[in-house]
Amino acid sequence: MRSAVVLLSGGLDSATVAAVAKRDGFAVHAVSFRYGQRHVVELVAAARVAKHLGVLSHRVIELDLRAIGGSALTDDIAVPKGRDADEMVSSIPITYVPARNTIFLTYALGFAEVINASDIFIGVNALDYSGYPDCRPEFISAFEQLANLATKAGVEGERFTIHAPLIALSKADIIRLGMSLGVDYGLTSSCYDPTPTGEACGRCDSCQLRLRGFAQNNVADPIRYAA
């Protein structure tokens, strides 16, 4: 059974991706990051999802992203609320964390090399992507090229594949796919600004995209929202 490293944030997208990796026959090694994010509740969700999916291992890596600063997700900058869909996709919001996905993928690559895996799964999504540059197909393929040049395994002939199976799906498509694979979305957490007890705000970009995705499937989102 081949092993794959799956980036697991605890959100809806990465839970779906982990289920896809399992469906495709991989033994899943999940990796999450504690990077000074204000919504640490997502790490609790990642652990729940990892257990639910029966992954082979789940590790949480500490990252020092606050040291480089520059994002509403790690600094004391207000998370934007109530933006409409056009606004979300036409501008890069301040919730963008500089180089975050590159850092995540690079750790996944290092770990993959150590466990002799050559497949990495990431839940980036170019349609409902909130305008992040590091969620685009051209970014993924540039990283794949880099992976094969950056590593001992690559130099020795291993070919790394970065799987981004959600990249062309809408949020509604992702939810449909996950439901078909038995993902329990009640275990996931997507909100950029949850309450201390873990209820989603319902108004940040991420909550709005999620709620719309469930609505388009005529399914109720199973997580709790603040009143």
Residue 47 touches a copy of itself, criterion: CB under 8 A: no
* Residue 30: φ, ψ to 5°: -90, 140
Residue 114 touches a copy of itself, criterion: CB under 8 A: yes
Q: 119-121 and 161-163 as β-strands: parallel, antiparallel, unpaired?
A: parallel
Report CA 4 to chain centroid distance, whole Å.
15
Residue 168 touches a copy of itself, criterion: CB under 8 A: no
Residue 69 touches a copy of itself, criterion: CB under 8 A: yes
Distance CA 80, CA 107 (A): 29
Distance CA 178, CA 185 (A): 8
Instruction: Draw the binding track, 84-103, toward a copy of itself (x: CB under 8 A; -: no contact).
Output: --------x---xxxxxxxx
Report CA 161 to chain centroid distance, whole Å.
17
Q: How many CB atoms lie within 10 A of CB 122?
A: 27
Site for a copy of itself in 137-156 (CB under 8 A): 138-139, 142-143, 145-146, 149-152, 154-155
Distance CA 38, CA 161 (A): 31
Q: Which of 62, 76, 84, 86 binds a copy of itself (CB under 8 A)?
A: 62
Residue 161 touches a copy of itself, criterion: CB under 8 A: no
Place of tokens 């108004």: 203
Q: How far is the CB of 34 from a copy of itself (least distance, A)?
A: 9
Q: Which secondary-structure segment (H or E) carries 108?
A: helix 100-114
Residue 29 touches a copy of itself, criterion: CB under 8 A: no
Residue 22 touches a copy of itself, criterion: CB under 8 A: no
Name the residues that contact a copy of itself, by CB under 8 A: 59, 61-65, 67-70, 92, 96-103, 106-107, 109-111, 113-114, 133-134, 136, 138-139, 142-143, 145-146, 149-152, 154-155
